[in-house]
């Protein structure tokens, strides 16, 4: 793995920021094309508002094989009022995906964020009924149409001490996770069901604790026969010391996940540059190096089925709103710049994906 990582970083350095930036999109193979040669899908998160930009629509259509709604399938938008479901926004995304020949996966059903106020106010019995109705209605609406769902999002405590002390845990107990997965499976038996989590990629002690808590949960679910088909690693990475920048222990963790007979999805990949110097070439080289190192760690794992970046163009990144740079400059965390032109990060990704390896098609529920 280390030799492969060094090769990828060397290729990025040889290309240089200016060369990578100058490459026109049509001159290079697409991310989805390179991923498909390895038996993978390449995906991106999008919103309806973002797709109003013709350039971004074209970029997503050319580079991706799958989209995931960034916010359109979260509870506060779908059922803002009890019993009144509005699928207009996610249906529009699905129509776009179908028109472009892309898949769309579901994100997310049970999360401690973006909940309507009325859900937060429910006592335990009513909260359980609301969850059952919501999962049954939403997954049922898309039955047979979405290959996979992030059923439970971020269930592990940030410090890795166990399950997150969310309203779900406090009012329904730890069984809420198995119940949510069972309800989703009942609503669409063909969909691959996923538990999605962040902070599992790095080499620090906090990450190790969180991994162990996550593995404990997964083993319990497997022992009980709860329907679960894959795990999602969000992979919000950092090009500085504030988060994961090295991934020496990640391959062994992936093998532990695979040993549980679970597929592995990278669901929200980006690279935060908020603490790097302002100079764009330096920032872009550092971001590209993290992409290269991360992909060198995950791509050899046979159970890896999907890589999704949380956006494709820097103009759409969530980081500028939620983790802005102190100097006020926009972040550059994604493969393409504000003008949808490829950067050093795109070159690093392409270098990591080449040459294509002979991989099995894996779970048809995820890869179809």
Quick: pLDDT tens for 23-41: 344 456 999 999 999 999 9
The per-residue pLDDT for range 254-300, each reduced to its tens digit, is 999 999 999 999 999 999 999 999 999 999 999 999 999 999 999 99
- Percent of the chain at pLDDT exceeding 90: 87
The per-residue pLDDT for range 100-119, each reduced to its tens digit, is 999 999 999 999 999 999 99
| Average pLDDT rounded to a whole number, residues 179-187 | 98
Banded pLDDT at 46 (limits 50, 70, 90) = very high
pLDDT score for 240: 86
pLDDT score for 14: 38
Of 72, 197, 268, 301, the catalytic one is: 268
- On average, the pLDDT of the chain sits at 91
pLDDT score for 243: 73
pLDDT score for 5: 44
Banded pLDDT at 6 (limits 50, 70, 90) = very low
Of 79, 154, 201, 301, the catalytic one is: 154
Q: Which residue has the higher pLDDT, 19 or 306?
A: 306
| Average pLDDT rounded to a whole number, residues 329-348 | 97
pLDDT score for 342: 97
The per-residue pLDDT for range 202-256, each reduced to its tens digit, is 999 999 999 999 999 999 999 999 999 999 999 999 998 777 778 999 999 999 9
The per-residue pLDDT for range 306-321, each reduced to its tens digit, is 999 999 999 999 999 9
Residue 20 has pLDDT above 60, yes or no: no
pLDDT score for 107: 98
Banded pLDDT at 3 (limits 50, 70, 90) = very low
Is-catalytic flag, 26?
no
Q: Which fold has domain 31-353?
A: TIM Barrel (3.20.20)
User: 4-13, 139-148, 210-219: lowest mean pLDDT where?
Assistant: 4-13
Q: Which residue has the higher pLDDT, 363 or 208?
A: 208
Banded pLDDT at 77 (limits 50, 70, 90) = very high
Residue 53 has pLDDT above 70, yes or no: yes
What residues does 232 pair with on adjacent strands? 196, 265
Is-catalytic flag, 197?
no
Q: Please tell me whether the overall predicted TM-score, pTM, comes out greater than 0.85 for this model.
A: yes
Helices 280-298, 2-22: crossing angle, 10 deg rounding: 140
């Amino acid at each position: 793995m280390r030799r492969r990582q060094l090769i990828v970083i060397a290729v990025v350095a040889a290309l240089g920021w200016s060369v990578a930036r100058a490459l026109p999109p049509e001159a290079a193979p697409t991310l989805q094309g390179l991923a498909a040669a390895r038996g993978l899908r390449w995906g991106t998160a999008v919103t309806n508002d973002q797709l109003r930009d013709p350039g971004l629509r074209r970029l997503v259509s050319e580079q991706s094989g799958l989209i995931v709604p960034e916010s359109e399938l979260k509870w506060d938008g779908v059922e803002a009022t009890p019993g009144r479901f509005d699928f207009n926004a996610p249906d529009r995304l699905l129509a776009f995906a179908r028109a472009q020949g892309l898949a769309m996966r579901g994100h997310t059903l049970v999360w401690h964020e973006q909940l309507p106020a009325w859900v937060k106010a429910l006592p335990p019995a009513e909260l359980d009924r609301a969850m059952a109705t919501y999962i049954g209605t939403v997954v049922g609406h898309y039955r047979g149409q979405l290959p996979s769902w992030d059923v439970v999002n971020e269930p592990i405590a940030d410090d890795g001490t166990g399950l997150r002390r969310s309203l779900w845990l406090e009012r329904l107990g730890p069984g809420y996770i198995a119940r949510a997965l069972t309800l989703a499976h009942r609503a669409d038996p063909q969909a691959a069901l996923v538990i999605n989590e962040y902070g599992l990629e790095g080499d620090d002690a906090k990450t190790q604790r969180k991994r162990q808590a996550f593995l404990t949960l997964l083993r319990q679910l497997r022992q009980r026969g709860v329907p679960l088909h894959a795990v999602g690693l969000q992979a919000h990475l950092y090009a500085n010391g504030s988060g994961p920048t090295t991934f020496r222990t990640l391959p062994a963790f992936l093998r532990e996940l695979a040993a549980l007979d679970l597929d592995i999805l990278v669901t929200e990949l980006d690279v935060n540059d908020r603490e790097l110097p302002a100079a764009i070439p330096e920032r872009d080289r550092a971001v590209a190096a993290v992409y290269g190192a991360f992909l060198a760690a995950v791509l050899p794992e046979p159970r890896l089925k999907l890589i999704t970046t949380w956006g494709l163009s820097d103009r759409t990144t969530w980081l500028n709103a939620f983790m802005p740079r102190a100097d006020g400059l926009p972040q550059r965390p994604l493969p393409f710049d504000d003008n949808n032109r490829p950067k050093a990060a795109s070159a690093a990704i392409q270098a990591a994906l080449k040459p294509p390896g002979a991989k099995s098609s894996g779970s048809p529920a995820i890869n179809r």
